[in-house]
A and B are shown apart, each in its own frame.
Chain A
Amino acid sequence: MRVRLIDLTRGLVQENPLLRLMIGLCSALAVSVKVENTIFMGLAVIFVLTLSNIVISAIRPVTPDNIRIPIFLVVVSSFVTIVDLVLKAYFPEVYARLGVWIPLIVVNCIILGRAEAFAYRNGILASTLDGLGMGAGYTLVLIVMGIVRELLGTGSITMMGVTLISLGTGFQAPTFMITFPGAFLTFGLIMGALNKAQSALAERAARRATGSAGRPTPVGGV
């Protein structure tokens, strides 16, 4: 079995679960009010996604095709239960804030989607890399959204009770940013910025390839 780097990096940008595949959005929009939440949520998703990918890939030979989805769900929910109990035991405050979103990882489209689209069709090592990469892609976007929303919406970023950045007392924070419409706005702007950057890069690459003349076809954007 060949180990390919692309399995790891695919989830970061080009097939980013949130910005490109657009799955797992509801947890991302709900959790990203606070940077601290996004880090814990991201770690939880990386853990569940990677381990469930490994197990699902490993039990491929004995999984009957007709009932694979219930089997995926059993595997995924076992790992979610582990995360749920660990957070509840060691990080009760975080657990209280993340609330229902931790158990809901079971039905997060990213996990089931990668199980069905990747782990069920690929080897264990490739599935591990895919889980790590997709989870990291999800976490990255989540952290960026969390930084934007918490900083603008509350005027400061606080982690574990320590204020990291503050915009000062003169800043009247727009509470819009920590509401749901603010989440959609932040997400849309990040996606737009990524599309813009990618099409600019592609245009530059095309211009270099063709010399200078000729306007390349637009790339990126949905």
Chain B
Amino acid sequence: MAGGGNLVVTVSPHIKSPETTGSIMRLVLLGLLPATLWACVLFGISGIAVIAISVITALFCEVTWHNLRDGKGTGRTWFALVSSLVVPIGVSAAGLGRAAPAAAIALMSAFILSEAGISRQGERRHSFDGSAAVTGLLLALVLPPLVPWWIPFVGAFIAIWLGKEIFGGLGYNVFNPALVARAILVLSWPAHLTAGWFRSLGIDATSKATPLMLAKTGAAADLTAYYAPLLLNNPGGCIGEVSAFLLLVGGAMLLWKRVITWEIPVTYLGAMAVASVLMGVDPVFHLLAGGAVLGAVFMATDYVTSPVSSRGKIVFGIMCGAITMLLRVYSKAPEGVTSAILFMNMVTPLIDRSTMPRPFGVVRAGRGVRK
């Protein structure tokens, strides 16, 4: 570029893919869009608020961390951080509890927009690759729609700072950031995270418990009655569990665009089906209920925290599905997707090492050429 001549001399590779982290993340967001929009319709303002706070806070956390890490705009970044913490607390202390989330959103959006702009020196201050937005959206989708506003707020800080940036940023994180946040939130405020389900459209008699909880306690006699609602408009559950069908539509789009490969979703759900048959529970219900589809399609397939090779992905998917069903059937908790994926994230390096593809022509140790 600097020379401005017509002759461009570069080292290989010469064939470049137009794909970037940003373009992939935009496709993932697009894949989540149908279910997200439908959730916004079903859950109304409460669902929209959780999603907005989660996504905006995630972006805000990313910008502030990067600014502080790179030592640029340290003063204004600290100011933004402190004010977006202090102002909402002050607003709620003043008895205007409902205005607190609005204040937080306004402050954080203003900072994000100012950082996205062009600085006086004419350079872009911060470029967003969309990964924080994906994390924020996924976090919102695994939260109940009626949580207090500060749950997604704190959760996004946990996801981006403790789940991702502290390991060195995108590509270095061991665990799926959104699920790290969910796990810590569940351990911290179990009362908020296991209640606040919304009864949408008045389809069912379920008012407070999710279908999985009812199945666990045996309160739901006929599980087949839940098939249609789980597929289309889930009566109770996390925001992202509104419709398995819309999630699958998004997943199909990602498969078609080759953002994800078939191995993990298919083996994950397949293993769940096989395991539930073996355990004597309803396989269709368990595939549709809870976070199975969301986890298998959008979370277990995270590039950073899942194995690289095709064989590794198959092992990963099968183990995820088996652990999910083990937890659902034999543990105290009704759902096991979060723990299963986090656990398998942890063993991913091990899977990667033992499923490393053999380069062509290399003889495996112990099978050497006989003399």
**A179, B187: Cβ atoms under 8 Å?**
yes
Complex CA gap A185/B184 in Å reads 11
| B162 contacts across to A, CB distance below 8 A | 185
| A179 contacts across to B, CB distance below 8 A | 187
Complex CA gap A108/B166 in Å reads 30
Write the B79-99 contact mask toward A (1 if CB under 8 angstroms, else 0): 000000000000011000000
CB-CB nearest in chain B for A185:
B162
| A181 contacts across to B, CB distance below 8 A | 184, 187
| B166 contacts across to A, CB distance below 8 A | 192
Write the A161-177 contact mask toward B (1 if CB under 8 angstroms, else 0): 00000000010101111
CB-CB nearest in chain B for A180:
B187
CB-CB nearest in chain B for A181:
B187
Cβ-based interface call for B6 (8 A): no
Complex CA gap A179/B162 in Å reads 17
CB-CB nearest in chain B for A171:
B89
| B154 contacts across to A, CB distance below 8 A | 174
Cβ-based interface call for B12 (8 A): no
| B360 contacts across to A, CB distance below 8 A | none
Of the residues B92, B93, B188, contact of A174 by C-beta under 8 Å? B188
**A172, B187: Cβ atoms under 8 Å?**
no
Cβ-based interface call for B189 (8 A): yes
Q: Could you count the A-B residue pairs with CB atoms below 8 Å apart for me: how many are there?
A: 22
Interface size, B (range): 10 to 19
| A177 contacts across to B, CB distance below 8 A | 188
CB-CB nearest in chain A for B166:
A192
Write the B156-198 contact mask toward A (1 if CB under 8 angstroms, else 0): 0000001000100000000000000000100111100000000
CB-CB nearest in chain A for B186:
A176
Complex CA gap A93/B188 in Å reads 27
Complex CA gap A64/B162 in Å reads 50
Complex CA gap A181/B190 in Å reads 15
| A172 contacts across to B, CB distance below 8 A | 189
Of the residues B92, B93, B188, contact of A175 by C-beta under 8 Å? B188
Complex CA gap A124/B166 in Å reads 44
| A175 contacts across to B, CB distance below 8 A | 187-190
| A170 contacts across to B, CB distance below 8 A | 92-93
CB-CB nearest in chain B for A173:
B188
Q: Which residues of A (161-208) have their CB < 8 Å from a CB of B?
A: 170, 172, 174-177, 179, 181-182, 185, 192
Interface centre among B92, B154, B187, B189 (most CB of A within 10 A): B187
CB-CB nearest in chain B for A172:
B189
Please list the residues of chain B having a beta carbon within 8 angstroms of any beta carbon in chain A: 92-93, 154, 162, 166, 184, 187-190
Please list the residues of chain A having a beta carbon within 8 angstroms of any beta carbon in chain B: 170, 172, 174-177, 179, 181-182, 185, 192
Closest 7 CB pairs of A and B: A174-B188, A176-B188, A176-B187, A176-B184, A175-B188, A179-B187, A172-B189
Given contacts A174-B184, A174-B189, list 17 more A-B pairs with CB under 8 A. Answer: A170-B93, A172-B189, A174-B154, A174-B187, A174-B188, A175-B187, A175-B189, A175-B190, A176-B184, A176-B187, A176-B188, A177-B188, A179-B187, A181-B187, A182-B187, A185-B162, A192-B166
* A/B interface sample: 13 pairs, CB < 8 A: A170-B92, A172-B189, A174-B154, A174-B184, A174-B187, A175-B188, A175-B190, A176-B184, A177-B188, A179-B187, A181-B184, A181-B187, A182-B187
